[in-house]
Homo-oligomer: A and B are copies of this chain.
């Protein structure tokens, strides 16, 4: 198997996780560029990775460069690679391929890992879906090779569809986590333990494998149980944010299932 020389730019959550993932396969050489020193707590997990502090190293040595930086920095950085021979990929859900293609015409693509990375968690990389896109089919197949070096799956989607999937990811990850947050705050303020809900939370997520979520909907709003809804709204009188969301959701659930 061909050895991949991979440069990763950016040592945030995504950059560090991708460096760990790709360096886990001995066929890959991974360089991780970071302006500052990586915190000691991660150096152990990064022992197969070469840390570099000079961007030119990734421009000259890497065959594939992954930009694991903020959306705002992608286009500016792309321009820096216009004379590099590396295949340049960004890792963002919401930035078009066009943004880097402007600078790296026929040597660019996207490798968007559809997962939420937290430095405190170990992930099974083989279970992360990578959404990929490239300037041409030759580069697309190079990206496929790269992803298969860590036994992960990839799905080809264009920039417009990737944005829609990213939007859905915001809903099922960021918005859901905000509901967890408000539920947790409410219980904590009432001196009740949030972890009692963990089995329910995990079941709610994992049963999606069995049926479409609309068919799994239960609860007072679904069955039109006004008295429970009223009692809950009363309990939330001193929690205006949660009170507001509770009403919005109860209406939205009732509406959705009336229509369907």
Contacts and interface: CB of A to CB of B under 8 A. Distances in A.
Q: How large is the interface on A (under 10, 10 to 19, 20 to 34, 35 or more residues)?
A: 35 or more
Contacts of A214: 181, 184-185
Interface stretch (A40-48, A133-141, A162-170): A162-170
Interface string A102-143: 000000000000111010110100011101000000000000
A73 interface: no
A217 B218 CA distance: 26
Interface string A219-244: 11110010110011001100001101
A22 to B, nearest CB: 18
A210 interface: yes
Contacts of A190: 161, 164
Main SS class of interface, A: helix
Given A200-B169, A249-B175, A118 B256 contact: no
A230 to B, nearest CB: 11
Contacts of A123: 203
Interface of A: 71, 94, 114-116, 118, 120-121, 123, 127-129, 131, 155, 157, 161, 163-165, 167-187, 190, 192, 194, 196-214, 216-222, 225, 227-228, 231-232, 235-236, 241-242, 244-246, 248-249, 252-253, 255-256
